[in-house]
Amino acid sequence: MFLLISVVLTLWLSCAHGQGRTCDFPEIKHGSIYNENRYKKSFPADVGKYFYYTCEHSFVTPSQSLWTRINCTEEGWSPTPKCLRQCFFPWVENGQSTSSGQTHREGDVVHIVCNAGYSPPNGQSSIACGESGWSSPPECRRVYPQGRCGPPPPIDNGDTVSLPLPQYPPESAVEYKCQAYYVLQGDKHIVCRNGEWSEPPKCLGACVISEEMMQQHNIQLKWRQDRKLYTRTDDNIEFTCKYGYRPTTPNHTFRTTCHEGKVVYPHCE
């Protein structure tokens, strides 16, 4: 009798064990699980375990709640964790859309009707909300005759080198430059083709966090595992001492910001 129970039990156990699949760490694009650094070690997770995840800024979970529960089941994570882009549709000048003032989600398609003499960029009257935002800007732009272009588009923290004209003939080029402490990204020239300017450059307010300075001060970045050493003006930067070193500057110096191209580093010995 005992033997029988024991055999049944063993069978049941091995059976349960054999089936007992686990769930791998959920790699969530644009999202993370609650307290990820702490719980990452506990993967793979057993069936029955559950976690909460959230999405980064401008993304939402399908349920739209800040924290969404995912259960580890025999079929894997349920529901499958996902972060969907949100795209805001503004009020369109010189045109109309039923979506004006609404927030859309990844996958949505929106129509714009422009007034006479105006056209959406590239003549596309439908634009889609995708992972990186609207497929083209939700705008109605003035149409100039014979492939001419209007004034070059303004950019943040930068300007054109020459004074803008009201109209430019096809194949004209215009050059941009950035304000002090901003770094130009992209092509500094734009060209007028088929009545549209090519993509203007961006001016990024940047501090370079130098590997050399971090060595000198015996510190490292607290959060960033990636080696991105550019940071924008007023972004918070957090440092910690390298392993085996102790802080010799006050705690608040370990949380600093990039200001006009400069970072003040804390120090450890």
Ligand X SMILES: *[C@@H]1O[C@H](CO)[C@@H](O)[C@H](O)[C@H]1NC(C)=O
Helix (H) or strand (E) holding 216: helix 211-216
173-178 sheet: strands from edge to edge: 158-160, 173-178, 189-193, 196-197
Closest to ligand X by CB, 80 vs 210, is 80
Computed on alpha carbons and rounded to an integer, the radius of gyration of the chain in Å comes to 27
Closest CB 66 distance from ligand X, rounded Å: 15
Closest CB 73 distance from ligand X, rounded Å: 7
Coil/strand/helix, residue 11: helix
Please spell the DSSP secondary structure of 44-88, one letter per residue: SEETT-EEEEEE-TTEE-TT--SSEEEEEETTEEESPP--EEEEE
Closest to ligand X by CB, 155 vs 221, is 221
Closest CB 252 distance from ligand X, rounded Å: 8
CA distance 228 to 223: 11
Please choose, from the candidates 185, 187, 231, the residue with its C-alpha nearest in 3D space to the C-alpha of residue 206: 231
| Residues 78-117, interacting with ligand X (CB under 6 A) | 78-79
Q: Establish if 251 lies at the interface with ligand X (CB under 6 A).
A: yes
Closest to ligand X by CB, 193 vs 222, is 222
Helix (H) or strand (E) holding 50: strand 50-55
Closest CB 250 distance from ligand X, rounded Å: 6
Closest to ligand X by CB, 122 vs 236, is 236
Q: Establish if 225 lies at the interface with ligand X (CB under 6 A).
A: no
Q: Which of 49, 69, 188, 267 touches ligand X (CB under 6 A)?
A: 69
Closest CB 254 distance from ligand X, rounded Å: 8
| Total number of residues shown for the chain | 269
Q: Establish if 249 lies at the interface with ligand X (CB under 6 A).
A: no
Question: How many residues line the site for ligand X (CB under 6 A)?
Answer: 6
Tell me if 140 sits within 8 A of 94, measured CB to CB.
yes
Using CB under 6 A, list all residues that contact ligand X.
Answer: 50, 69, 71, 78-79, 251
